[in-house]
Structure 1
Amino acid sequence: MKRIAKIASKKTFFLLCLMLMGMVSNAQEVKWLSWNEAAQLATTDESPKKIFIDVYTDWCGWCKKMDKDTFQNAEVAAYMAENFYMVKLDGEGKEPIEFKGKTYKFIPSGRKGYHEFAAALMQGRMSYPTTIFLDEGMNMLSPVPGYQKPEPFLNIARYFGDNIYKEKDWQAYSGKGSK
């Protein structure tokens, strides 16, 4: 009887390991760049990509959930890597950032403070997470505030990544316009 229990226990352990490996294989590691790395690539690549910026904070639970659920989703990660330089930007980061001839800095405010570059990208609406889409010339396409699940996020990313925004407004593309 002990031997049967031991064999069953080993089989259960083996199956559990296989299930965990299956879950891990659905996740994909994203190669995040700093702002400086993405800006350098955008100005030196022969055919530059658009820039995607994930503005987050260390204390933001929804930011962590979006990292885990959305950005590590295999389909999302593959599409984003192919079409965007992906930047992680701490909304409370302390390092100065150069952008279009201006230096943006950390501004102490309240208990923590904020980074001027994050505030400029989010158009003054300090909400985390906020994802930002820039075109190949580093011009603002749109900030998108809030947590996004993989499928809706991919829909938004394709709108900008596939240049659909040049032909259709968001309402028409997303089917939310009046019919």
Structure 2
Amino acid sequence: MKKIFLLLTIALISFSTQAQEVKWMTFNDAIAAQKKNKKPIFMDVYTVWCGPCKMLDKNTFSDPKVAELINKKYNPVKFNAEGNEAITFADKKFANPSYDENRKNTRNAMHEFAGFLALRGYPTMVIIDANNKVSKSIVGYRSAEQLTAEL
């Protein structure tokens, strides 16, 4: 009986300390979700070669408090600024016509939507309200505490 209790206790402790993850979605899925739930979109705009972008994933977005906050308040999107995802926003279509599949793991052409957002660097976190307005841009790496304070 003691062994069963010990195993259950260990299982409960490990379950309660598991990191919550941000539930990332595509931009088009976030637009559809926003029409239903009216939450703003939180977009992590990154590139595959960006060191601070990788640090955000490892240190900030993996923090349970950050993940909980983003999942609760926003429709979270992870958007590769040099990727090949087709996007429709405010009745306009955006693509990356110069995208090179052979360069998908390194620097590539900039996506038209990244240009539309007028990004000043990577990473950039963008908040888009239900009226299709960019209400906030956060440029650069932020720790979990810094990002939580800004959100």
Query: How many residue pairs align between the two structures?
Result: 132
Alignment of 1:54-93 (within 5 A): 54-93=44-83
- Asked whether the 8 Å contact 1:42–1:137 carries over to 2, the reply is no
Within the candidate set 113, 124, 133, 1:130 is matched to 124
1:53 to 43, 46, 56: 43
| Bigger Rg over Cα | 1
Shift of 1:101: 1.2
Counterpart CA distance in 2 for 1:57 and 1:69 is: 17
The whole-number CA distance in structure 2 between the counterparts of 1:30 and 1:80 is 7
Q: Which has the higher helix share?
A: 1
1:143 match = 137
Runs of at least 5 residues in structure 2 that lack an aligned partner in the other structure: 1-9, 100-106
The TM-score, its normalising length taken from structure 2, stands at 0.79
- TM-score normalised per structure 1: 0.67
1:117-145 deviation line (CA, Å, top 9, x unaligned): 12222x142x1110001112231102111
- RMSD, matched Cα: 2.1
Q: Which stretch shifts more, 82-91 or 132-141? A: 132-141
Secondary structure of 2:45's match? strand
Tell me which residue corresponds to 2:19. Answer: 27
1:142 counterpart letter in structure 2: K
C-alpha distance in structure 1 between counterparts of 2:23 and 2:123, whole Å: 18
Residue 116 (structure 1) aligned with residue 108 (structure 2): no
Task: Give the Cα–Cα distance (whole angstroms) in 1 for the partners of residues 41 and 60 of structure 2.
Answer: 17
Partner of 1:165: none
Alignment-derived partner of residue 103 in structure 1: 93
